Amino acid sequence: MNYLQPAIAMSYFISPRFLAKLSVHITKNYLNLPLVKVPLILGIHGRKGEGKSFQCDLVFERMGVNVVHMSAGELESPDAGDPARLIRLRYREAAELVKVRGRMAVLMINDIDAGAGRVDQYTQYTVNTQLVNGTLMNIADNPTNVQLPGSYELEPIQRVPIVVTGNDFSTLYAPLIRDGRMEKFFWEPNRADRIGVVSSIFQADGVAPTQIETLVDTFPDQAIDFYGALRSRLYDEQIYHLIQTVGLDRISLRVVNSQEDPPRISTTGL
């Protein structure tokens, strides 16, 4: 397979490097590789707004992978032990999906450093933080023996890869991110990646490829989400014209539960 060829999914651009790293990690965890230590967790880190989670979603959809999601907010709770139990429960749900649907599955934890990281010296490790780290380490070491509190099953479950995203993995518990448990992938889109992603963002607007390249080269230090926000702001003038035409006092009735057709906002010629 040539990993250097760009891939398009649902008109969205998938970076070839991102596709290669994530697809290999997922597939590798489902193969029987004797005497090979395969890390269960893939940690994708990089600066904010570079599309880490979105690229993951595109690859999952392209591969037909079932995804069980968790967010950083679920890694803390007023009740000690609940987040750790939830991780085990979600992991077992992903394993069950493989059994029931006959397709690969992953457990996806977004922004893990926001929920389990230590930002500065004033950020205390709570009981839940310790239990979350310990649980993820235990699952990484024993991926086919993940038990729920109060029960024990002798039959092994399906091994399921875990994918986590974050901005700064140096805030995480060091033993969790060590080699063997977690493979790290630093995501920093290069110029070709940026042009591909920005082209897909402005695809409906008919922006010429040369203009896309000029836009990317004009703002080389901006994160990917900058271009999405820029496109959104291009519609502000049309929307303000709609408000003036309809009237400030009637715009709510015009766009909410209106009997008229929805207002038409042009997506070309911006």
Q: Is residue 96 part of a domain?
A: yes
In angstroms, rounded to a whole number, what is the distance separating the alpha carbons of residues 190 and 110? 23
Q: Which two tokens stand for residue 57?
A: 């979603």
pTM: 0.84
Tell me which residue of 146, 154, 66, 136 sits closest to 106, measured CA to CA. Answer: 66
Which pLDDT value is given to residue 125? 63
Q: Is residue 268 part of a domain?
A: no
CATH of the domain at 235: 1.10.8.1070
Which pLDDT value is given to residue 78? 76
Question: Residue 23 region, left (φ>0) first, then alpha (ψ -120 to 50), else beta?
Answer: alpha
Pair 21, 38 in one domain: yes
Full domain range(s) for residue 242: 191-255
3-state secondary structure of 94: helix
Pair 121, 142 in one domain: yes
Q: How many independent structural domains does the chain possess?
A: 2
pLDDT, tens digit, for every residue of 171-218? 888 899 999 999 999 999 999 999 999 998 888 778 888 999 999 999
CATH of the domain at 36: 3.40.50.300
Q: Is residue 1 part of a domain?
A: no
Which pLDDT value is given to residue 53? 92
Long-range contacts of 148-157 (CB under 8 A, 24+ apart): 148/85, 148/88, 148/89, 148/92, 149/81, 149/85, 149/88, 157/92, 157/95
Gyration radius of the chain's alpha carbons: 22
Residue bearing tokens 């070709």: 192
Q: Is residue 262 part of a domain?
A: no
Pair 12, 143 in one domain: yes
Q: Which residues of the chain have pLDDT under 70?
A: 1-10, 118-125, 266-270
Pair 219, 137 in one domain: no
Q: Is residue 265 part of a domain?
A: no
- Pairing label, strands 7-9, 12-14: antiparallel
Which pLDDT value is given to residue 7? 46
Q: Is residue 263 part of a domain?
A: no
Pair 100, 39 in one domain: yes
